[in-house]
């Protein structure tokens, strides 16, 4: 027989994504461990940056593959542009590899700007031959991005090294 001293079981399972009584604005992970909102925001912005990087790499690969498929008929200026994009993709990949994951989201705005540049290049390539002036403009845009990217990587990695590579509160 059931005892009247026991409280009835709530048919609704607890919501692991929310704890409305928390004073510290915590959410709970799937295993019911608390996660601070700051960490959640950091994880979301980092994942958005990673998704943006993936899109950049995919778009660059498509541009380069299209150029390779054109073979001998490829326009020389366009080929130079795709080589520059490949080199920059390698630089981004290596540069991001030296950045602590916790700082990755600081690149989002810069990468978003670069993503717009390469999407424009991709669309322009499909519209037909590219004039030398257009190639020069894209080359300047790529160089400006490269300079800014290298500066940001340098600042972040130097700042990380100056703090001894440790954080007072690191989640990664």
What are 105-135's pLDDT values in tens digits? 889 999 999 999 999 998 888 787 778 888 8
Mean pLDDT of all residues in 150-169 = 70
Please report, for the domain that includes residue 149, its CATH number.
1.20.5
The answer to whether residues 140 and 81 touch, using CB atoms and an 8 Å cutoff, is no
What are 64-105's pLDDT values in tens digits? 887 766 654 456 767 788 888 999 999 998 998 888 888 888
Q: Is residue 17 part of a domain?
A: no
Q: Is residue 170 part of a domain?
A: no
Q: Is residue 34 part of a domain?
A: no
100: left (phi over 0), alpha (psi -120 to 50) or beta: beta
Q: Of 139 and 68, which is predicted with more confidence?
A: 139
Number of domains the chain is built from: 1
Residues 155 and 91: their CA atoms lie apart, in Å, by 16
**pTM, full prediction:** 0.64
């Amino acid at each position: 027989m059931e005892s009247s001293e026991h409280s009835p079981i709530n048919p609704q399972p607890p919501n692991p994504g929310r704890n409305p009584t928390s004073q510290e604005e915590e959410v709970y992970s799937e295993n019911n461990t608390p996660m601070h909102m700051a960490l959640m925001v950091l994880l979301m912005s980092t994942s958005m940056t990673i998704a943006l990087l993936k899109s950049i790499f995919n778009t660059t690969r498509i541009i380069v593959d299209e150029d390779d498929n054109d073979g001998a008929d490829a326009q020389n200026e366009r080929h130079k542009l795709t080589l520059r994009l490949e080199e920059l993709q390698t630089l981004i990949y290596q540069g991001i590899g030296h950045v602590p994951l916790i700082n990755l989201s600081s690149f989002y705005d810069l990468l978003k700007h670069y993503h717009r540049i390469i999407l424009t290049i991709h669309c322009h390539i499909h519209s037909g031959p590219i004039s030398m002036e257009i190639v020069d403009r894209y080359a300047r845009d790529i160089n400006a991005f490269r300079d800014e990217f290298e500066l940001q990587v340098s600042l972040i990695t130097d700042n990380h090294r100056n703090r001894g590579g440790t954080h007072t509160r690191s989640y990664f």
